[in-house]
């Protein structure tokens, strides 16, 4: 048994593992209430799956991780207002490029009314692939099946063999307008604001601290890091992504929590940002792509978007769901090549033409990221009970938070992470009153 020598010992009321949106939000709430908080972050930066890039590289506040603000996002919008940030509603044309046919996307799923009818009648949850196979088999529904699987994989980053039909039904038939925004300053700026708020309240944020073990012993909780440091706390909040829970040793063991984490879906995303000399695509093969927002395709890198209405010569590529795993061991250069090849086919130009226009590229291969192992969670038929299990504290000392733990319908988003972090802080403050 390898035991690291203890190089340093630190004490806090609360230790938070992870300096992403959930961890920083929890720290801010606890710090405001006078708690001594230490955040331990494995990376050399804050943010986790929020990853701002240098403005010098792309000409705007580009994001290699989370970028969009979905729906109402009340808590995120409140923070943005507090931080003096600018929210921009997305606009522009959506295009489809399938089998050489390129056309404006009218957003209707084939046989949509029939699909919605069957969804409304469904009494018991099941994976969406099972639902589609049961109710929409055969040649007649090929376009419907392709469209549904494309949405489930591309937008929800989910495996259709696991994704909950009830959850997707709520998403598709919820009756709310599908609104999407982006932050002019990017999510990175919002987390920088949260970081400054945390430090103002005395929170210590330590980077390059890989947590190896969390131990409850003799009424105390100890968090041990790879460099041999020990952090003693009354309470601990674990905010790492779902697959990373298994990389931390918990003593006593928490097999029921790890099993619950496996029952919640967790999808991969590869994101590519390509900066060009010009917006070379806007008049490709005689069509007007000048106001393009998104284009969806069946090429290797399937989805691309612009920064429209800002006329920035950047295209962002997106490959999500099970297909992202195909690039798990690929180099950034290979992924960039796949992106260039996909754009060349979509816009009917030579690869060399795209390469000559390219100025700068960045790849975020989230499935290959050691501290994320993917991008965000998705709901399975087993998720509700699994989430209930994970939200129960261990011995009223170890609490869990993150986008996958949000109970307000915002899981998988930054809003969900912020709300979950705030909820964990409330639980601790309430438990402190009764301890």
User: What are the φ/ψ torsions at residue 420 (nearest 5 degrees)?
Assistant: -65, -40
Half-sphere exposure of 342 (CA within 13 A, CB side): 25
Q: Torsion over CA of 14, 371, 303 and 347, rounded to 10 degrees?
A: 130
Q: Please give the class, per CATH, of domain 9-49+186-264+379-434.
A: alpha beta
As given in the structure block, the two tokens for residue 278 are 């010009």
pLDDT at 4: 46
Distance separating alpha carbons of residues 118 and 128, to the nearest angstrom: 12
CA distance 79 to 397: 28
Tokens linked to 78: 């409140």
Contact 19, 241 (CB under 8 A): no
Instruction: Point out the annotated binding site.
Output: 41-42, 211
State how far the alpha carbon of 364 is from the alpha carbons of 37, 48, 52, 133, 384, in Å: 31, 12, 11, 34, 30
Residue in this structure with the two tokens 């319908």, named with its chain if needed: 409
Q: In a structure prediction context, what are the per-residue pLDDT tens digits for the chain, which is 435 residues long?
A: 444 444 567 899 999 999 999 999 999 999 999 999 999 999 999 999 999 999 999 999 999 999 999 888 999 999 999 999 999 999 999 999 988 789 998 766 889 999 999 999 999 999 999 999 999 999 999 999 999 999 999 999 999 999 999 999 999 997 665 678 999 999 999 999 999 999 999 999 999 999 999 999 988 899 999 999 999 999 999 999 999 999 999 999 999 999 999 999 999 999 999 999 999 999 999 999 999 999 999 999 999 999 999 999 999 999 999 999 999 999 999 999 999 999 999 999 999 999 999 999 999 999 999 999 999 999 999 999 999 999 999 999 999 999 999 998 899 999 999 999 999 999 999 986 555
Binding site members for FAD: 41-42, 211
> What's the 3-state SS for the chain?
CCCCCCCCEEEEEEEEECCCHHHHHHHHHHHHCCCCEEEECCCCCCCCCCCECCHHHHCCCCECCCCEEECCCHHHHHHHHHHCCCEEECCCEEEEEECCEEEECCCCCCCHHHHHHHHHHCCCCCEHHHHHHHHCCCHHHHHHHHHHHHHHHHCCCCCCCCCEHHHHHHHHHCCCCCCEEEECCHHHHHHHHHHHHHHHCCCEEECCCCEEEEEEECCEEEEEECCCCEEEEEEEEECCCHHHHHHCEEECCCHHHHHHHHHCEEECEEEEEEEECCCCCCCHHHCCCCCEEEEEECCCCCEEECCCCCCCCEEEEEEEHHHHHHHCCCCHHHHHHHHHHHHHHHCCCCHHHHHHHEEEEEEEEHHHCCCCCCCEEECCCCHHHHHHHHCCCECCCEEECCHHHCCCCCCCCHHHHHHHHHHHHHHHHHHHHHC
Q: What local confidence, expressed as pLDDT, does residue 71 receive?
A: 82
Q: Which residues contact 84 (CB under 8 A, 6 or more apart)?
A: none
HSE, side-chain direction, 13 A CA sphere, residue 395: 18
What's the rounded Cα separation, in Å, for the pair 96 and 107? 10
Per-domain boundaries in the chain: 9-49+186-264+379-434, 87-183+269-374
Residue 6: per-residue pLDDT: 46
CATH code that applies to domain 87-183+269-374: 3.90.660.10
Are 385 and 334 in contact, with CB atoms under 8 Å apart? no
């Amino acid at each position: 048994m390898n035991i690291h020598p203890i190089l340093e010992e630190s004490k806090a009321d609360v230790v938070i593992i992870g300096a992403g949106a959930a961890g920083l939000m929890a720290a801010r709430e606890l710090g405001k209430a006078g708690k001594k908080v230490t955040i331990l972050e494995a990376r050399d930066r804050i943010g986790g799956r929020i990853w701002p890039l240098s403005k010098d590289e792309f000409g705007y506040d580009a994001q290699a991780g989370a970028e969009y603000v979905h729906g109402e996002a009340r808590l995120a919008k409140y923070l943005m207002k507090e931080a003096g940030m600018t929210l921009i509603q997305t606009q522009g044309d959506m295009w489809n490029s399938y089998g050489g046919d390129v056309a404006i996307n009218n957003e209707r799923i084939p046989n949509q009314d029939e699909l919605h009818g069957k969804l409304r009648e469904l009494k018991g949850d099941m994976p969406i692939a099972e639902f589609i196979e049961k109710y929409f088999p055969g040649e007649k529904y090929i376009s419907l099946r392709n469209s549904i699987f494309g949405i489930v994989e591309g937008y929800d980053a989910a495996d259709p063999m696991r994704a909950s039909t009830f959850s997707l039904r709520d998403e598709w038939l919820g009756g709310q307008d599908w609104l999407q925004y982006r932050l002019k300053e990017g999510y990175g700026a919002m987390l920088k604001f949260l970081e400054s708020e945390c430090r103002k309240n005395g929170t210590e944020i330590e980077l390059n601290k890989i947590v190896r073990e969390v131990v409850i012993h003799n009424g105390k909780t100890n968090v041990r890091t790879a460099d041999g440091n020990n952090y003693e706390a009354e309470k601990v909040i674990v905010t790492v992504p779902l697959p990373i829970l298994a990389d931390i040793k918990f003593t006593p063991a928490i097999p029921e929590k790890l099993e619950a984490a496996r029952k919640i879906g967790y999808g991969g995303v590869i994101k590519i940002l390509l900066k060009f000399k010009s917006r070379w695509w806007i008049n490709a093969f005689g069509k007007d792509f000048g106001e393009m927002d998104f284009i969806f395709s069946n090429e290797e890198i399937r989805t691309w978007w612009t920064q429209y209405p800002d006329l920035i010569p950047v295209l962002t590529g997106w490959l999500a769901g099970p297909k992202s795993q195909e690039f798990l061991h690929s180099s950034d250069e290979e992924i960039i090549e796949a992106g260039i090849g996909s754009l060349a086919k979509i816009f009917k130009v030579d690869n060399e033409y795209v390469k000559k226009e390219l100025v700068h590229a960045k790849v975020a291969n989230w499935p290959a990221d050691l501290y994320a192992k993917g991008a965000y969670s998705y709901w399975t038929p087993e998720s509700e009970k699994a989430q209930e299990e994970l939200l129960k504290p261990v011995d009223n000392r170890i609490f869990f938070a993150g986008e996958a733990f949000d109970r307000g319908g915002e899981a998988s988003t930054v809003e969900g992470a912020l709300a979950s972090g705030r909820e964990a802080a409330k639980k601790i403050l309430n438990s402190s009153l009764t301890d």
